[in-house]
Structure 1
Amino acid sequence: MGYPRKLTRRFRAFDNFAISFTIINILSGIFSSFGFGMNAGGPRVLVFGWIGVSVMVLFVGASMAEIASAYPTSGALYFSAGKLAKRHQGAWSWYTGWLNFVGQVGGTAATDYAAATFIQSFVAMQWSSYQPTRQQTVLITAAILLIQALANTYTVRLVAVVNRISVWWLLVGLVVIVTALVSVPSHHQSPSFVLHSVNNTGFGSAFYAGLLGLLVTSWTFTGFDGSFHMSEETVQATVNAPRGIVRSIGFSALTGLMLMLALVYAVTDYTKEAAADAPPVQILIDALGMTTAKVLLLVVIGAMLFCGLANMTSNTRQIFAFSRDGAMPGSRLWHSVSPRTRTPVKAVWLAAVCALVLVVPGWWSKVAFTAVVSINVVGLFLAYGVPIFLRLRLREFRPGPWHLGRWGRPVAALAVLWIGLSNVLFMLPQASPITAQSFNYAPIALGVVLLIATVWWFATARRRFKGPVSYGSPDEVAAMDLI
């Protein structure tokens, strides 16, 4: 790919799968967004929307995997965008890289903020006198970011071990939660309950509410580009990285459907639970009792913490690669690698600080925090879509060892179509009446990011950034290898 080797290849096939599976994290995603789906579409959209959107996301992942096999680098999306563009390679790479960067930083911030929120819910369940506040949530999030940054500082082998543990934590936790919801309650909803439709969005159209409900699945299925970003640290990356992407989506789709069905059929009082601060937690309390609910909530919190750690790891590798090509201020710092741990330590701490900067507005206003991190999903899916769109335009695309054959172009077309549709949904109003508290700030957040990137591009970047840099011929690069 034109780069000297600075990172060690210690990720095996399972490790590569584990990082994307952990970032997707069905426990974290479903428990964080289930309440939104209860009010926007109800059980019908939660279950059948999960199935339909999972298939479309699998198309996105398969197209990304094909590209990952051809361009297995830490730069991942922005690198492949620069290589696949016919013209203006620097511009395509620039915008893709910055969308990916802010999307990943927003993902780390949002995941750890959600973990802090659920930690406080657990504390309040344990000690009724405890009153959660926004300030406490920000402080807990900062502590989580500090611990995750320290974990990412000490060798990629440690991160790989933690990610292996996280996979089993997720799977065992899922089995325990689903088994409890199926076997413990004395009463479950009837089979036809899955067809029940609900519209508490404030909009008169049930169809519109159902479209919004699809976002539950889309919010969950983000971050599978983590396998792509870990390519330079994965053995046989041209095969194992794409397999990691596709397998993580497939396993998440199947296990997530099990959890979704278990929660839906365990509903006791729909109106009360849908209106709760944390609807899935209220479902656990009503169906299983307070003590069991608290134990299972600890499982969910653990999953969220693993998810945030994997998010930061992926974010760090994107920063490392983007800086290696001179696209970030202070690039020399961020793409340096510790000679002792063989990890981009400075990039780790930049990722942690940037995530903390996004969290800090939550000290004063939850709306301000929501406005900042709403760019997470929009930024990531747009970054996913750019290289897939460019691959679709490029008839002479040269695939790697893992490819879709003659299905490559049709799958890519469906992937681009879904990314376009889902991003429109992400930017539509999600509640009525529209007020400062209910306004969807995703379009504004996206507009600010694109405005800054555009001004920066035309002011200075277009003269110095031409896309991915080649450090020489294969033989010259091999002589530069630092490990």
Structure 2
Amino acid sequence: MGYPRKLTRRFRAFDNFAISFTIINIISGIFSSFGFGMNAGGPPILIFGWIGVSIMVLFIGASMAEIASAYPTSGALYFSAGKLAKKHKGAWSWYTGWLNFVGQVGGTAATGFAAATFLQAFFAMQWDTYEVTIQKTVVITAVILVLQALANTYTVQLVAVLNRISVWWLLIGMIVIVTALTVMPSEHQSASFVTHFVNNTGFESAIYGGMLGLLVTSWTFTGFDGSFHMSEETVQATVNAPRGIMRAIGYSAITGLILMLALVYAIRDYAAEAKADAPPVQILIDALGIGTAKFLLLIVIGAMLFCGLANMTSNTRQIFAFSRDGAMPGSRWWHSVSSRTRTPVKAVWLAAACSLVLVIPGWWSQTAFTAIVSVNVVGLFLAYAVPIYLRLKLDDFEPGPWHLGRWGKPVGTVAVVWILLSNVLFMLPHASPITPATFNYAPIALAVVLIIATVWWFATARRRFQGPVSYGRPDEVAAMDLI
């Protein structure tokens, strides 16, 4: 790919799969967004919407996997965008990189914020005198980010081990939660409950309200580019990285559907639980009792912490690669690698600091979490769309060992169309009446990112950034390898 190797290849096929599976994290995604789905469509959208959107995400993942096989680098999306563009390579690479960076920072921040929120819910259940405040959520999030940064500071082997543990935590945790919700309640909803449509969004159009509910699955399926970003640390990356992407999406789709069914059919008092501060937690309490609910909540919190750790790992590799090509302020700092641990330590702490900056407005804003999630999803999915779109325009695309053959362009077309449609949904109002508390800040977040990137591009970047850097011929690069 034209780079001297600085990162140690310690990720095996399972480890590469584990990073994306952990970031997607069905427990974290479903529990943090289930309440929104209860009010925007209800059971039919939660269940059938999950199936439909999962299929669309598989199209996106397949297109990304094909590109990952051809360009297995830490730069991932922005690197491949620069290589696939016929002209204006620097601009395509620049915008993709910044969308990816902001999206990943948002993902790390949002997951930490969600974990802090559920931790406070657990504390309130455990101690009657505990008072939940948004300020405490911010402080707990900051502590979580520091701990995750410390874990990422040490060897990539430690991160790989933690991600292997996280896979089993997710799978075993899902089995425990589903079993408890299936066996313990004295009664369940009838089979026909799957047709129970609900529209509490405030909008008169049931179709619009139901379409908004599709965002539950979209919120969950973010971050599978993690396998792509870990390519330079994965053995046989041209095959294992694309397989990691596809396996993570496929297994998450199946296990997530099982968890979704268990939660839906365990609902007791729909109206009361839908209005609760944390609807899935209230479902656990009503169906299983507070003691069991607290135990299961610990599983959920653990899943969120693992998810945040994997998010930060992926975020760090993107910062490392983007800086290696001189696209960030202080690039020489952020792409340096520790001689002892062989990890980009400075990039780790930059990722943690940027995530904390996104969280700080939560000190005084109740809508902070929604804004952070919007930054995460809109940034990431637009970054996914760019290289796929450029691959569609390229007639002489040279695939790697893992490819779609003649199905490459049809699959890519479906992927791009779905990304554009779902992103429109993310930027439309999500609740009515529209007030400061219900306003969707996604369009503003996207506009701010694009304005800053555009001003910076025309001011200085276009003269010094021409896309991914090539350090020389393969033999010259090999001679520069540090390990």
The alignment's TM-score, normalised by the length of structure 1, stands at 0.99
Q: Deviations over 1:313-339 (max 9, x none)?
A: 000000000000000000000000000
Tell me the secondary structure at the aligned position of residue 292 of structure 1.
helix
Moved more, 442-451 or 128-137: 128-137
* Alpha-carbon shift at residue 365 of structure 1 (Å): 1.1
Q: 1:28–1:307: 8 Å Cα contact kept in structure 2?
A: yes
- CA distance in structure 2 between the partners assigned to 1:16 and 1:369 by the alignment: 29
- CA distance in structure 2 between the partners assigned to 1:367 and 1:49 by the alignment: 25
* Alpha-carbon shift at residue 369 of structure 1 (Å): 5.2
Q: 1:358–1:369: 8 Å Cα contact kept in structure 2?
A: no
- CA distance in structure 2 between the partners assigned to 1:84 and 1:155 by the alignment: 33
Is 1:255–2:255 an aligned residue pair? yes
Q: Deviations over 1:248-292 (max 9, x none)?
A: 000000000000000000000000000000101100000000000
**Map of 1:105 onto structure 2:** 105
**Map of 2:63 onto structure 1:** 63
**Map of 1:75 onto structure 2:** 75
- Please, what is the CA RMSD of the aligned residues? 0.6
Q: 2:359–2:368: 8 Å Cα contact kept in structure 1?
A: no
Is 1:453–2:453 an aligned residue pair? yes
- CA distance in structure 2 between the partners assigned to 1:294 and 1:73 by the alignment: 42
Query: How do 1:9-408 and structure 2 match up within 5 A?
Result: 9-368=9-368, 370-408=370-408
Tell me the secondary structure at the aligned position of residue 374 of structure 1.
helix
Structure 1: runs of 5+ lacking an equivalent: none
- CA distance in structure 1 between the partners assigned to 2:188 and 2:227 by the alignment: 39
**Map of 1:416 onto structure 2:** 416
- CA distance in structure 1 between the partners assigned to 2:129 and 2:286 by the alignment: 21
- CA distance in structure 2 between the partners assigned to 1:379 and 1:166 by the alignment: 25
Measured at CA, do residues 432 and 258 of structure 1 come closer, stay the same or move farther in structure 2, by a change above 3 Å? same
**Map of 1:444 onto structure 2:** 444
- CA distance in structure 2 between the partners assigned to 1:266 and 1:135 by the alignment: 33
Q: Which amino acid aligns with 1:366?
A: Q
Structure 2: runs of 5+ lacking an equivalent: none
Q: 1:358–1:373: 8 Å Cα contact kept in structure 2?
A: no
Q: 2:109–2:372: 8 Å Cα contact kept in structure 1?
A: no
- CA distance in structure 2 between the partners assigned to 1:270 and 1:255 by the alignment: 24
Q: Deviations over 1:385-437 (max 9, x none)?
A: 00000001111111000001111110000000100100000001000000111
**Map of 1:430 onto structure 2:** 430
Tell me the secondary structure at the aligned position of residue 333 of structure 1.
helix
- CA distance in structure 2 between the partners assigned to 1:234 and 1:195 by the alignment: 45
* Alpha-carbon shift at residue 367 of structure 1 (Å): 2.2
* Alpha-carbon shift at residue 371 of structure 1 (Å): 2.8
- CA distance in structure 2 between the partners assigned to 1:100 and 1:440 by the alignment: 21
- CA distance in structure 2 between the partners assigned to 1:382 and 1:202 by the alignment: 28
Q: 1:361–1:369: 8 Å Cα contact kept in structure 2?
A: no
- CA distance in structure 1 between the partners assigned to 2:181 and 2:382 by the alignment: 37
Q: Which amino acid aligns with 2:149?
A: A
Percent identity, please. Answer: 83
Q: Which amino acid aligns with 2:67?
A: I
- CA distance in structure 2 between the partners assigned to 1:148 and 1:263 by the alignment: 29
* Alpha-carbon shift at residue 128 of structure 1 (Å): 1.3
- CA distance in structure 1 between the partners assigned to 2:369 and 2:23 by the alignment: 21
Q: Deviations over 1:95-141 (max 9, x none)?
A: 00000000000000000000000000000001111111111111100
Q: Any runs of at least 4 consecutive aligned residues in structure 1 with deviations exceeding 3 A, and if so which? A: none
Q: Which amino acid aligns with 1:352?
A: A
* Alpha-carbon shift at residue 366 of structure 1 (Å): 2.2
Q: 1:82–1:467: 8 Å Cα contact kept in structure 2?
A: yes
- CA distance in structure 2 between the partners assigned to 1:119 and 1:272 by the alignment: 22
Tell me the secondary structure at the aligned position of residue 365 of structure 1.
coil
* Alpha-carbon shift at residue 225 of structure 1 (Å): 0.1
**Map of 1:5 onto structure 2:** 5
Tell me the secondary structure at the aligned position of residue 342 of structure 1.
coil
- CA distance in structure 2 between the partners assigned to 1:195 and 1:261 by the alignment: 13
* Alpha-carbon shift at residue 5 of structure 1 (Å): 0.3
Q: Which amino acid aligns with 1:419?
A: I
* Alpha-carbon shift at residue 196 of structure 1 (Å): 1.0
- CA distance in structure 2 between the partners assigned to 1:186 and 1:144 by the alignment: 37
Q: 1:389–1:412: 8 Å Cα contact kept in structure 2?
A: yes
- CA distance in structure 1 between the partners assigned to 2:344 and 2:86 by the alignment: 32
Q: 1:149–1:348: 8 Å Cα contact kept in structure 2?
A: yes
Q: Which amino acid aligns with 2:153?
A: T
- CA distance in structure 1 between the partners assigned to 2:252 and 2:371 by the alignment: 28
